[in-house]
Structure 1
Amino acid sequence: MAAEGLAARAAAVGLLGAVLGEGRLMAQVVADPQGPLAGLTPADRARAQRLTLAVLRHVEQADRVLNPHLRKSPPRLVRDALRLAVVEIAQGAPAHGAVNAAVEIVRRGKRTGAMAGLTNAVLRKVPEAPFAGLPPQRLPRWLRQPLVHSYGRDIVSAIEAVQAQTPPLDLTTRDGAEAPDGTRLPTGTLRLEEKGQVSALAGYEAGGWWVQDAAAALPARLLQPQAGERILDLCAAPGGKTLQLAAAGAHVTALDLSGPRMERLRENLARCGLRADVVVADALDWQPDAPFDAVLLDAPCSATGTIRRHPDLPFVKDGSDLPALVALQARLLDRALGFLKPGGRIVFATCSLLPEEGDGQLTAALARHPHLRVERPVLEGIDAAWWTPQGGVRLRPDLWADRGGMDGFFMARLGV
């Protein structure tokens, strides 16, 4: 077995241990200079992350395959090495390579060397198509229960089916810019099935496009930015919506609390040749010099709509932070309204599937501010069924399932 193949797989097992064993978000572990990816080549880092994401989408199925062959639960490293091998086999990798790698990872473990034989014996019993007939991985109870109440079991099952798949790569492109070959979605997003290394794709260096899920691209379109307008992008990092607003010719102020994430925004602006005033500050304390024509608020939320791209979330979160997030969203929305000129408009958005972070926020905002009006502009590619009775837009992962789905979002445009 090639050493580099083992390095990526061992790092994947380390990432799984951090997420499933320590309850850490994968993004935090990946960014840790002392973490499992330390010292790996870029190719191995990328492969380790792909393998980890694949396992996180299929933990439940892998355990169903493994448990009949385990008399008691093995140590974490052994369990995660077994899961990785089963998922690799399910995805069509040569069984001997996946099995040999798992055995070697267990053999090298500080306290697991004696279980290498068990690892080999268990994996030799795994069938060629280990997940055949098994349902997709279910969402955790704290999330699944309210979603079933809101959408019904069939829709939630459809959401779970989409979340079990590796999502395509979505790009927002500038008019006339060079871009890779892909499929243009009805809303204008360019979707790629075979993506490879993003920075090697056509048009990357020229800044003709940026990575942005099809759903995440819609709040800026709902705002309908106009050239010359002063627009505030609140909670802006990592900057996809800022780029959209700037590309439309608006004078954009991008504000976010996170300095490191705003560095990414600056890098994206520079690569794409776009301009914005970048401010690192707390929106609840910051005060602009003058009011804005429009505000885009993509508020901090549970991120439950992004599980298809971030399958670690169900294993790390438990819903306990939801009340605080809902309260913060309301405070940010009230604050943002104060930044608007008379006659201005705001788009409120969350990448959440939970109603209290969507229609619930809209209902509460209209009650707190009777002068607000919900605006429903005509948007190309938006299915009529996506509009809610109140005039918001509700997106779910199972929409466009035959095209690869989309992130879950709620958004609404309000005029003052």
Structure 2
Amino acid sequence: MTNTSRNSKNRSKPPYRRREHAEISARLVALRMLRRILDKGQSFDQAQLQLADDLNQLEDRDKGFARAIVLNSLRYKGQLDALAEEFLERPVTGDQGMVAHFLRVGMVQLLILDTPPHAAVGELLSLLDKTSEFAIIRKFKGLINAILGRADREGDALLAIQNAAKLNTPAWIWDSWVRDYGEETAQAMAEANLEEAPIDVSPRHLKDAEKLTDAIDLPGGGQRLPAGYHMQNVPGFSEGHWWVQDLASSLPLKIADKLIGGFDSKTTLDLCAAPGGKTMQMAAAGAKVTAVDISKPRLARLHENLDRMGLSADIHVADVVKWKPAEQADFVFVDAPCGATGTMRRHPDLAHIKSQEDVDKLVATQARLLPAAWDMVKSGGYMMYAVCSLQKEEAEHQFQSFMNSLSDGEFIAIPKNIIDGVEDCITDEGLLRCRPDILAEIGGMDGFFAGLIRKKD
């Protein structure tokens, strides 16, 4: 097994240069966000929303620094916690969780973000004296200081001998990947998740899409920008020439378009549609799209995206299992709710707020959703089931179980060569299975699954 680590000599330092008075605020916000995510089970986005007032008091670079602390603390949590355990001579009594957060925030600055020690440690420890919410752990100030000192002196050497991929992947996820993909592939996927994901954009009009500066071309017509790229710098983005969509997420409908004879003028349903990437894909291809999602706030973002792109869709706030269309559709896309383990490189918080029990509940939800969606497909029409999950019980197994239940369904196998450059994403059985380690040489992709069924005439 390959040992991987974050070697400081091979890391590019983040472009954060902060005024001294703002550093405390950035670290304070980061600590508060970690408490909400790791102690209360909130997502990164929910924590940002809850702490919007705090974030708005920071300058843009300090907001970026706070977010970098949080996201990297989550991405490398397994390694950071293993180091803390190595350095602790005896267990901490009292508010262990808060002490752990301080250690993560300190070590991630020293070992991952390459923050100077006087700032990473000194400014962090000053929060114990100046902030009343941390008074309960002031007695541990000396201990925290000592451990961070050891991390600064010994941390890089210890990181180098850790299996970063396995340590930073929760055991329930790691074990399932080893079972379903084998240990070598599990290791490769977990390693890919340690890299910050690039930004993929899809053009409104493929034939006359401008080649973007700093971008590389992607299979199927999209372009890839470096991680951290600011979309306001993309020419034509605000005018609706582009939308953001990972390569893996864009492939299902690009494949379906080829297999069903094109979307132009077809009636289509996008179920569980928010935030709307698939809706925009079908609308841009000329389909008459109806988008349905149970979340009104998430659909508000879909409205915004459609307005910016100059596209239209009939949008409904509804429970897909209970909702009925006015008429059956030519094509139904089921973007089912799932554990989203395929997106952990973008959302490292998911690894720490999801569990196997959550996946089990979602599997049951998917099993209810599929028959309801199938009833919306007209004779001779098609349904595609998709999830952004690497858990096979939500993907391959769920799809096969539903196929086995059908008497009027015909499986449509996806040809290996349907889109040049993504042959490794097509299984021998004719399913789409994207993994974060595929196309690693250009930055990989999210984990994604899709399968296509035709309803018999």
Cα-to-partner distance string for 1:237-261 (whole Å, 9 max, x where unaligned):
0011111111111111111000000
TM-score under structure 2 length normalisation: 0.85
1:163 and 2:193 equivalent? yes
Partner SS, residue 323 of structure 2: coil
Contact 1:81 / 1:105 at 8 angstroms: preserved in 2?
A: no
Judge conservation of contact 2:338–2:394 (CA < 8 Å) in 1.
Answer: yes
Residue 100 of structure 2: aligned partner: 79
- Residue 369 of structure 1 is matched in structure 2 by 406
Do the aligned partners of 1:293 and 1:340 also contact (CA within 8 Å) in 2? yes
**Contact 2:29/2:66 (8 A) holds in 1:** yes
TM-score, scaled to structure 1: 0.93
Residue 42 of structure 1 and its aligned partner are, at CA, apart by: 5.0
Corresponding residue of 2:438: 399
User: Paired residue for 1:195?
Assistant: 228
Q: Is the 8 A contact 1:54 1:166 kept in 2?
A: no
Structure with the bigger percentage of helix: 2
Residue range with higher mean Cα deviation, 140-149 or 68-77:
68-77
Query: Among residues 119, 125, 135, which one is paired with 1:97 in the alignment?
Result: 119
C-alpha separation in 1, matches of 2:213 and 2:186? 33
Q: Label 1:266 to 1:317 Cα distance change in 2 as closer, same or farther (>3 A).
A: same
Write the distance in 1 (CA, Å) between the matches of 2:361 and 2:80.
Answer: 34
Determine which of 405, 415, 423 is the counterpart of 1:384. Answer: 423
Cα 1:142–1:124 shift into 2, 3 Å:
closer
Q: Does residue 57 in structure 1 map to residue 75 in structure 2?
A: yes
* 1:86-139 deviation per Cα after TM superposition (whole angstroms, max 9, x unaligned): 112223232322122321233332323343343333222223736223221342
1:129 aligns with 2:156: yes
Mapping of 1:290-301 within 5 angstroms?
290-301=327-338
Q: Which residue of 2 aligns with 1:113?
A: 138
**Separation in structure 2 between the aligned mates of residue 323 and residue 17 of structure 1, nearest angstrom:** 26
Alignment of 1:171-320 (within 5 A): 171-174=201-204, 175=206, 176-178=208-210, 179-224=212-257, 225-320=262-357
Q: Is the 8 A contact 2:383 2:453 kept in 1?
A: yes
Q: Which amino acid aligns with 2:161?
A: G
Output the CA distance in 2 between the equivalents of 1:78 and 1:394: 41
Does the CA-based 8 Å contact 1:104-1:116 persist in structure 2?
Answer: no
8 Å CA contact retained: 1:234, 1:298: yes
Once residues 227 and 47 of structure 1 are traced to their aligned partners in structure 2, the CA distance between those partners, rounded to angstroms, is: 45
**Contact 2:414/2:426 (CA < 8 Å) preserved in 1?**
no
Q: Which moved more, 1:125-134 or 1:38-47?
A: 38-47
Q: 1:285 to 1:43 in 2, by over 3 A?
A: farther
* 3-state SS, counterpart of residue 3 of structure 1: helix
Corresponding residue SS for 1:124: helix
Matches of 1:391 and 1:254, distance apart in 2? 27
1: distance between equivalents of 2:342 and 2:111? Answer: 26
Q: Which residue of 2 aligns with 1:413?
A: 452
Tell me the distance in 2 between the aligned counterparts of 1:180 and 1:235: 34
1:6 aligned partner: 24
Aligned-partner Cα distance in 2 for 1:305–1:229: 30
Q: Percent of aligned pairs with the same residue?
A: 36
Match of 1:150 in 2: 180
Higher alpha-carbon deviation: 350-359 or 83-92: 83-92
Structure-2 separation of matches of 1:404 and 1:208: 23
Q: Is residue 2:393 matched to residue 1:356?
A: yes
Residue 177 of structure 1 deviates from its aligned partner by 4.1
Structure 1 distance, partners of 2:59, 2:292, is 34
Higher mean C-alpha deviation, range 326-335 or range 258-267 = 326-335
Distance in 2 (CA, whole Å) between partners of 1:153 and 1:262 is 39
Contact 2:427 2:433 in 1 (8 A): yes
Amino acid at match of 2:256: L
Aligned-pair CA distance for 1:38: 6.4
The answer as to whether partners of 1:295 and 1:347 remain within 8 angstroms in 2 is yes
8 Å CA contact retained: 2:414, 2:432: no
User: How far did residue 197 of structure 1 move?
Assistant: 3.1
User: C-alpha distance in 1, partners of 2:332/2:31?
Assistant: 43
How far off is 1:33 after superposition? 5.4
Change (3 A) 1:173 1:8: farther
Q: Aligned equivalents of 1:43 and 1:295: distance in 2?
A: 43
Q: Per-residue deviation at 1:398? A: 1.4
CA contact (8 A) 1:20 1:316 kept: yes
Instruction: Point out the more displaced range, 34-43 or 288-297.
Output: 34-43
Q: Which amino acid aligns with 1:105?
A: L
CA RMSD of aligned residues (A): 2.2
Cα deviation for residue 62 of structure 1 reads 1.3
Q: 1:90 to 1:187 in 2, by over 3 A?
A: farther
Bigger mean CA deviation after superposition, 363-372 or 125-134: 125-134
| Structure 1 residue 28 corresponds to structure 2 residue 46 | yes
Contiguous gaps of at least 5 residues in structure 1: none
